[in-house]
Structure 1
Amino acid sequence: MQNPFGKGMIPLPPNFITMKNPKTGKVRLGKVGFSISAFIFHYLPAILRSDSYNVLCMLGVDAIVYMAVSMLQQPVANMVIFDPLTVTYILTSILWGCIYNLMYVRHLHKLGYVPGDKHSAQVLYKHKYLKRK
């Protein structure tokens, strides 16, 4: 991903990071902070990033939350107070918005990816996405 207008990498916003796999030379882009796309679209960002591990984790947690919400719902006079699917979607949307970027970066690190440049390393260690050795 070379910058077509000059030398070096494409300029990125300050909260974006690059992760590079030294063995394969592949580079992945990530973001630090709240994930608006995971908040709104749930699994779609993970699917588009080919992040099947986190898609399965998200599906499992969503299923557990749905079962818990369904079990906690007590019908009053044969009237449903709230829709368990809607409540589950709202709760897990907030959860995935808060932690998906962290999950993605840590999973890449387990796969052998390391920060691609000094800025990325500095941001990841500052926000505690990765631990110093």
Structure 2
Amino acid sequence: MNLFKSLLMVGMLTLSISVNAIEGCLVANRMYTSRASISILSGPAFTTSAFTDANGRCWAPAPNGSCQVCNGTAVAAAGVLVCVADILGPRDGAIYTGNYYSSFTIIDCNLDNFSWVLTTSAAAFGLILIRKRKTL
């Protein structure tokens, strides 16, 4: 019984370490998390300086509206996002519109990666029930 409790605690700690809730703007397969220091009328503005690839991941909960991502230097002009390209750099000044997540959590969508955890948990639970029946 103590082994099962120990395994359960280690599993819960491992899963809780990988979950963190932050805000971001999802455009195509990237979640941009670096908020621009300007305020615009159409929603939150983000820059391309920090992002997370979305390949094989899901986001929870659902998006809260739209947002814009600036691939350059973000400037606000009359409440509208203006994105200035770098003169010699790689940023082209494009503005991307995406889905805004005020607080999101990264979830691994593919449950096949966790099939061994589910199988082990079910087997351990079954063994505990069988042992309890033998003692009665």
TM-score per shorter chain, which class? Answer: under 0.3
Q: Please identify which structure carries the higher helix content.
A: 1
> Normalization by structure 1: what TM-score?
0.26
Q: Please identify which structure carries the higher strand content.
A: 2
Higher relative contact order (CA closer than 8 Å, sequence separation 6+): 1
